[in-house]
Amino acid sequence: MKRVLCFLFAAVSIGALSAGLARAETGSRAAPVKSGPAIALGSAWYPEQWPEAVWEKDLALMEAAGMNMVRVGEFAWSSLEPEEGRFTLDWLERAIDAAAKHHLVVVLGTPTDAPPAWLTSKYPETLRVDETGRRMQHGSRRQFSYTSAKYRELCRTIVEQLAQRFGHDANVIGWQIGNEYTEDSFDAESIRLFHAWLKEKYGSIEQLNRQWVTAYWSQTYDTWEQIPMSTGRGNPGLMLDYKRFVTDQWRSFQKNQLDVIRRHADRRQFVTTNLGGLGWANRFNRREIAADLDLISWDNYVGSGHIEPYRNGATHDLVRGWRRQNFWVMEIQPGFVDWAGVSNSLDKGETRALVWSAIGHGADGIAFWQWRSALNGQEQYHGAIVGPDGKPLPLYGEVKQLSGDLAKVAQLLSGTKSESEVALLHDYDSRWAIDFNRFSNRYDQLAVLVDYYHALRDRTQSVDIVDPLSPLEGYKLVVAPSLNVVSEATARHLVRYVEQGGHLVLGPRSGMKNEFNALNVQRQPGPLVSALGARVEQFYALLDDAPVSGAWGDGKATVWAEYFSELEPGVLVPLRYGKCNGWLDGQPAAVTRKLGKGTITYLGAALDPALMARIAEQWVRDAGVPDHTLPAPAGVEVCRRVGADRELYVLINHASKSVRVELPEEMQDVLQGGPTRAVELDGRGVGVISRPTRK
């Protein structure tokens, strides 16, 4: 076991360290530095729920399982401040010291997701109000209003106490702010702040009326106070701005604590928050929340059923794309949950596969939720690693196997990251704009994006998912399905990318809206019409599939179809509709043209998977994307992480049957040891192979 821990503790987590050292702070930090693990493996641990007499047994079992990290404190406010102004932090210090004796570093959570009863009783104005006007009660979590000045003051006080006490603690390597930001509030303070936010953005009520086109249905406003705050179907400009307001409020809620931590803590201690909602949640813009943090982390749950490798992998890539750096999974499913429609257990070996998939996509830290079954509380049935009696559950053996694997790989993974020359664009404004009026309940934006991802990843085994305004020059191919909101600034950015040699593909519903969620007057794709040399004449939500054929192949348009008109010279039509609804018959389903050193393409239809696969292969080939793939049987996920002098391939067999992966050359088998030309994978099995980096 000492050998395992030696491997795992050998190097600092690259994302956490580089971000922490880059932070602009002054002053000396004299505390001794304890490096974080190269790959962190641990669990959420709640010592406040248990007598101290059982702590030693818990921590000894963690060490025996090969864990090297615990997350503590994020729900412990009533134990840390049992009454206002009386702080009881000694028990937490003892817990951190006890963890250190078992070679477990600590991520310390601020307890601001679950305020204590004394707080909500004494200051009822801090309680959240739902959209119906009902004020929340104590007894759950997230019952606070994120805009409440009083709540933020109380949060700042407890966080300052923690930062002063543990900001120089050698065993604390990082901080987690709150837990899974989620609920907005419709209390009077939030409404007042929304109106102030609008006033600051637009300057005058006349400008707001102009951009929201409030002459429609006599919605014109005379004062800011007349503007409603709701999430029901309403003026599209108002609805989009409300989402942006919510984002800004969560960002300032986070900054309220972030500033305190950074003022008192060592620079080596990273600051993160665990973003929940299965990754794709869009209550607010998560990329903007991530921008202020040192390290990005999210909570990876499957819920009902089993791992969906493409959707789950795309979520990891989305999270990595928020900061374009490695990340942590701060909560991962330990077999099963207790909130799904059917809270089935993942198959034996599947939890291990879930963890390895996260690492393959760029995770440098993994924490299970949770370590020990809670005796009471809303999640007492939730999966865990040890039972309420403190004895290991069946999953414990799988965790021990996992740590043994990581001991062999951690040094090689240190300093590596995912690399791709293909990117998908994901845009929260566009997600919101389409969700406000899907037009077709068959048009599932995430299904469309994952369809593109599936086709592209099968051909590249690595796809980044980034924001449209991210630097794009490192990508040979950029694909933008459902980029509904395209401003003039976004258009200029994308055109520059193409003119400098990039290959841009737009998908259905692109460029319908401007940044105020108003229709672009140029038709689709808005300010990209002149670059494309064509425009969308009309769009159609399909009840029945429509045949398509052309240079790209034959197949079907499903769910959605657009056709193009006013084609300029040099615009090619690689796909046309066959006979269907009369309007689409014979019309262009896709157009493409050269522009500067690159190409711009618009595919106006959602396509069947087989045709989508053939077209993605064409795009990758035409863009000159180099082939770094490792051929593998269906059902085997292949992830590549690259360092300065090595590249590692993580192979995950998501099927229940054993498979053999033939290698194109002799490579090093990291888990089994020695050179090999093939890897045998059991059902739900994992392999890791390496070779020197190829330039």
DSSP 170-215: TTEEEEE-SSS------SHHHHHHHHHHHHHHHSSHHHHHHHHTTT
485 located within any domain: yes
CA distances from 150 to 147, 157, 643 (A): 9, 11, 47
DSSP annotation of 53 reads: G
The yes-or-no answer on residue 680 being catalytic is no
Q: Which amino acid is at 540?
A: Y
Q: Residues near 530 by Cβ (< 8 Å), separated by ≥ 6?
A: none
Is residue 446 a part of any domain in this protein?
Answer: yes
Concatenating the DSSP letter of every residue in 422-474 gives EEEE--HHHHHHHHHT-SSTT--HHHHHHHHHHHHHHHHS--EEE-TTS--TT
Q: What's the CATH code of the domain at 658?
A: 2.60.40.1180
- Cβ partners under 8 Å of residue 134, min gap 6: none
Find how far residue 350's CA is from the centre of its chain.
21
- Residues 307/278, Cβ–Cβ less than 8 Å: no
In a domain, 644, yes or no: yes
Tell me if 187 sits within 8 A of 144, measured CB to CB: no
- Determine, yes or no, domain membership for 628: no
Boundaries of domain holding 209: 189-226
Please say which residue of 413, 437, 468 terminates a domain: 413
493 & 605 share domain? yes
Cβ neighbours around 650 below 10 Å, total:
22
Tell whether 403 and 515 lie within a shared domain: no
Residues in contact with 220: Cβ distance below 8 Å, sequence separation at least 6, in sequence order: 209, 214
Q: Please give the pLDDT value at position 43.
A: 97
Cβ neighbourhood burial of 582 (10 Å; 0-12, 13-18, 19+): exposed
Domain shared by 402 and 429, yes or no: no
**Would 397 be classed as within a structural domain?**
yes
The pLDDT averaged over each successive group of 10 residues in the chain (695 residues) is: 39 38 32 68 97 97 97 97 98 98 98 96 96 90 94 98 98 97 96 98 98 96 96 94 98 98 96 89 94 96 94 97 96 91 93 97 96 88 93 96 95 95 98 96 95 97 97 97 97 98 98 97 97 98 97 98 97 98 97 98 98 98 96 96 95 96 96 95 96 82
Q: pTM of the entire structure? A: 0.93
Given 74, 331, 398, 421, the catalytic residue: 331
- Residue 132 and residue 53 in one domain: yes
Position 34 scores a pLDDT of 54
The last residue of one of the domains, among 389, 413, 437, is 413
Structure confidence at residue 76 (pLDDT): 97
Helix 236-264 crosses helix 428-436 at what angle (to 10 degrees)?
Answer: 140
Known active-site residue 566: no
Task: Label the pairing between strands 636-642 and 675-681.
Answer: unpaired
Residue with tokens 């190829």: 694
Closest listed residue to residue 289, CA positions, set 255, 334, 318: 255
Regarding whether 335 and 194 lie in a shared domain, the answer is: no
For residue 303, the domain's CATH number is 3.20.20.80
Choosing from 622, 644, 679, the residue where a domain stops is 622
φ and ψ at residue 382, rounded to 5 degrees = -60, 150
Residues 219 and 130 in one domain: no
Instruction: For strands 588-595 and 572-577, give the pairing.
Output: antiparallel
Q: Residue 629: inside a domain, yes or no?
A: no
**Residues 454 and 527 reside in one and the same domain:** yes
Task: Name which of 546, 554, 559, 612 is nearest 585 in CA terms.
Answer: 546
568 plus 671 within the same structural domain = no
**646 and 578 share a domain?**
no
**CA torsion sign, 26 to 31 to 35 to 40?**
negative
Considering its fold, how many domains does the chain have in total? 4
One domain for residues 204 and 57:
no
DSSP conformation letters of 228-255 = ---SSS--HHHHHHHHHHHHHHHHHHHH
Taking the CA atoms of residue 374, residue 377, residue 382 and residue 385 in that order, the dihedral angle to the nearest 10 degrees is: -10
Residue carrying the six token digits 């006979």: 579
Q: Given 180, 350, 562, 637, which residue is catalytic?
A: 180
- Structure tokens that stand for 601 in this block: 């393409």
Residue 627 lies in a domain: no
Q: Give the span between the Cα atoms of 84 and 306, in whole angstroms.
A: 45
**Claim to verify: residue 409 and residue 289 sit in the same structural domain:** yes
Count other C-beta atoms under 10 Å from residue 613's C-beta. Answer: 19
Predicted confidence at residue 142, as pLDDT, reads 86
CATH number for position 476:
3.40.50.880
| CA distance linking residue 105 with residue 7, whole number of Å | 15
Q: Give yes or no: residues 90 and 196 share one domain.
A: no
In a domain, 612, yes or no: yes
How many helices and strands (H and E) does the chain possess? 19, 25
Closest Cα partner for 512 from 443, 454, 461, 424?
A: 443
Confirm if 402 and 454 have CB atoms less than 8 A apart: no
DSSP 25: -
